[in-house]
């Protein structure tokens, strides 16, 4: 590109020059970056030498060049300190002949430096930065943007904002008092103002902020069996850390401390049932944090034939039972605990796979956790699930070919709802299985869950997807034929 010489007088008055054409100059380095981005970066033969303080790095990609400036020359990028580019028009040809071009680099820099910077700055971010972090998290989780696309969004959004701020700054300077010019320029160059994603650039800094401020946890890998043979993996999420974060929120803590039992003898939630009122902990202690454990299988694709079970996953969730029903039904209040393949659960059993979850529950029952307020006692209240999951966790035969399909009574297919099961008969049947010691020491004796009362029915599977459609069919038929209304 052709370049127009700049007089020595202008070189001494102005601080920064365009490192590509050396014709545009400004006292603000951010304007130089905008000029390079909008004027030169889209050329097919784009190439730029950093040149700040004699830096010899050469780039053919503007984003890589901008990353280098941000990491290595942050003072110039933010504050516009009085540094002058070492390569001027008079000696640019000699300098470029001596420099060896370097390839574009996307290295993440020194990990310790980034860690220290993120840990020191994440607590001092402004509300604008906090909203920017929320926007990034929503783009990543809700709209499934990749990390590469997320980085491009942050960079383009920052460039657009800086361009608009420069226009606002020029408009203010035209009408502002001359004595306030320096104050206006200093305010416009504030890092939190010109960059809403300050201390949120890159995957690592974002994950640090998401983890410490939003309480997002990384799953922990757990190996079952021999690593040299099968290497079966289970991914756990700490129940204790999840509860600590949830109970630190005032709105959830107030819901837990409230009494949700109705006074009109109607059934509104689990707290109004006879099982809750007769529970040894829930009936004697108040408040007690109730945990609802949920298990279900999910197919991640739609396989056919013999591959139908290869991609099926087993998921354990938990919910806080002390919340109002309108909050319990929200997807935001259903939290993942454990994920593994269904084949792994069938192979190692319902006692081995969710063992860390049950240990956390036992720890909560005996010790509890400390949050910002007084700790509450915690107990597992119910384990809902679809019929297959509940039958499996309770030790019943869960296949459709079972002779006695119901876990609440002894009825067969031809004679349902006539012989209810109870705790005594359940213990007797488990004890009779002398060949299966795992069932004799199942959840009832090990983790304090009563299979006859703890494995509660799931209204979605039993009513909404079960008998409700047949009841509605008969009801509509009566309304249409007899017209009682």
Residues 341 and 444 in one domain: yes
pLDDT in tens, 259-314: 777 778 788 777 777 777 777 666 665 667 788 888 888 888 877 776 777 788 98
pLDDT at residue 38 is higher than 70 = yes
Percentage of residues of the chain with pLDDT beyond 70: 61
Gap between the Cα atoms of 154 and 156, Å rounded:
6
**Are both 445 and 330 inside the same structural domain?**
yes
Are 349 and 426 in a shared domain?
yes
For residue 365, pLDDT beyond 70: no
Any domain includes 277 = yes
Do 447 and 394 belong to one domain?
Answer: yes
Instruction: State whether residue 189 is helix, strand or coil.
Output: coil
User: Is the per-residue pLDDT at 435 higher than 60?
Assistant: no
pLDDT recorded at residue 136: 92
Q: pLDDT digit string (tens) for 10-31?
A: 333 446 778 888 777 777 777 7
Return the residue matching tokens 């005996």. Answer: 366
> Cα 174 vs. chain centroid, distance in angstroms?
46
Domain assignment of residue 137, yes or no:
yes
Given this model, what pLDDT does residue 146 score? 92
Q: Is residue 76 domain-shared with residue 117, that is, in the same domain?
A: no
Winning range, highest mean pLDDT, from 84-88, 304-308, 392-396, 433-437: 304-308
Neighbours of 161 (CB within 10 A): 15
**Above 60 in pLDDT, residue 335?**
yes
* Domain match, 207 and 240 both: no
Does 374 score more than 60 pLDDT?
no
Residue 418 has which token pair? 């006539």
pLDDT at 245: 84
Q: Kindly tell me if the per-residue pLDDT of 75 is higher than 70.
A: no
Q: Which residue has the higher pLDDT, 103 or 44?
A: 44
Does 266 fall in a domain? yes
Expressed as residue numbers, the domain containing 35 is 8-98
Residue 274 resides in a domain: yes
Say whether both 175 and 226 belong to one domain. Answer: no
Burial 335-351 (b: 16+ CB within 10 A, else e): bebbbbbbebbeebebb
Do residues 339 and 320 make contact, with C-beta atoms less than 8 angstroms apart? no
Whether 408 maps to a domain, the answer reads: yes
Are residue 224 and residue 182 in the same domain, yes or no? no
Length of the chain: 485
Query: Considering its fold, how many domains does the chain have in total?
Result: 3
End-to-end CA distance of the chain: 86
Give 426's pLDDT tier (boundaries 50, 70, 90).
low
For residue 4, is pLDDT > 50?
no
Mean pLDDT of 441-465: 58
Domain boundary among 188, 213, 238: 213
pLDDT above 60 (res 370):
no
pLDDT digits (tens, 9 = 90+) for 42-55: 777 788 888 777 78
Of 98, 122, 142, which residue sits at a domain end?
98
94 and 156 together in one domain:
no
Q: Which of 166, 197, 213 is a domain's end point?
A: 213
Together in a domain, 127 and 250: no
Q: Is pLDDT of 413 > 70?
A: no
Q: Looking at beta carbons, which pairs linking 417-424 to residues 24 or more positions away fall under 8 Å?
A: 421/452, 422/452, 423/450, 423/452, 423/453
Separation between Cα atoms, residue 396 and residue 474, nearest integer Å: 33
Question: Which of 4-8, 168-172, 218-222, 280-284 reaches the highest mean pLDDT?
Answer: 218-222
The CA distance from 136 to 441, in Å, is 47
This prediction has a pTM of 0.54
Q: Are residues 131 and 185 in the same domain?
A: yes
What would the mean pLDDT of 162-184 be, rounded to a whole number? 76
- Tell me: do 19 and 80 sit in the same domain: yes
């Amino acid at each position: 590109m052709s370049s127009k010489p700049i007089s020595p007088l202008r070189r001494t008055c102005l601080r920064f020059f365009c490192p590509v054409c050396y014709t545009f100059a400004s006292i603000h380095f951010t304007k130089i970056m905008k000029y390079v981005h909008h004027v030169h970066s889209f050329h097919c033969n784009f190439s730029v030498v950093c040149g700040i303080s004699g830096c010899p790095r050469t780039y053919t990609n503007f984003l890589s060049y901008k990353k280098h400036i941000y990491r290595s020359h942050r003072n110039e990028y933010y504050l516009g300190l009085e540094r002058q580019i070492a390569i001027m028009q008079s000696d640019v040809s000699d300098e470029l002949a001596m420099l060896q071009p370097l390839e574009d680099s996307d290295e993440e820099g020194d990990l310790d430096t980034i860690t220290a910077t993120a840990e020191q700055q994440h607590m001092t971010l402004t509300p604008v930065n906090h909203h920017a972090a929320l926007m990034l998290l929503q783009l990543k989780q809700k709209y499934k943007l990749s990390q590469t696309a997320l980085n491009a969004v942050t960079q383009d959004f920052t460039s657009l904002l800086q361009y608009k701020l420069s226009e606002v700054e020029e408009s203010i300077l035209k009408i502002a008092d001359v004595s306030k010019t320096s104050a206006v320029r200093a305010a416009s160059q504030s890092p939190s103002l010109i960059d809403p994603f300050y201390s949120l650039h890159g995957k690592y800094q974002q994950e640090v902020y998401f983890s410490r401020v939003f309480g997002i946890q990384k799953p922990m890998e757990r190996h079952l069996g021999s690593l040299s043979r099968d290497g079966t993996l289970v991914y756990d999420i700490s129940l204790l850390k999840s509860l600590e974060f949830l109970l630190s929120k005032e709105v959830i803590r107030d819901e837990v401390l409230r009494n949700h039992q109705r006074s009109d003898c109607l059934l509104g939630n689990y707290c109004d049932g006879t099982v809750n009122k007769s529970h040894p902990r829930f009936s004697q202690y108040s408040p007690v944090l109730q945990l609802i454990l949920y298990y279900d299988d999910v197919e991640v694709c739609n396989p056919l034939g013999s591959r139908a079970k290869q991609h099926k996953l087993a998921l354990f969730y938990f919910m806080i039972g002390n919340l109002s029903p309108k909050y319990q039904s929200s997807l935001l209040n259903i939290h993942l605990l454990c994920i593994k393949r269904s084949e792994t659960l069938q192979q190692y059993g319902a006692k081995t796979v969710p063992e860390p979850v049950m240990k956390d529950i036992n720890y909560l029952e005996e010790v509890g956790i400390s949050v910002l307020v007084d700790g509450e006692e915690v107990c597992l209240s119910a384990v809902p699930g679809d019929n297959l999951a509940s039958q499996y966790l309770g030790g019943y035969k869960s296949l459709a070919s079972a002779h006695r399909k119901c876990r609440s009574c002894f009825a067969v297919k031809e004679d349902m709802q006539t012989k209810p099961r109870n705790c005594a008969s359940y213990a007797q049947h488990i004890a009779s299985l002398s060949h299966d010691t795992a069932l004799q020491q199942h959840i009832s004796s090990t983790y304090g869950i009563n299979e006859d009362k703890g494995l509660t029915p799931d209204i979605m599977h039993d009513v909404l997807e079960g008998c409700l459609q047949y009841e509605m069919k008969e009801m509509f038929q009566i309304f249409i034929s007899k017209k009682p209304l």
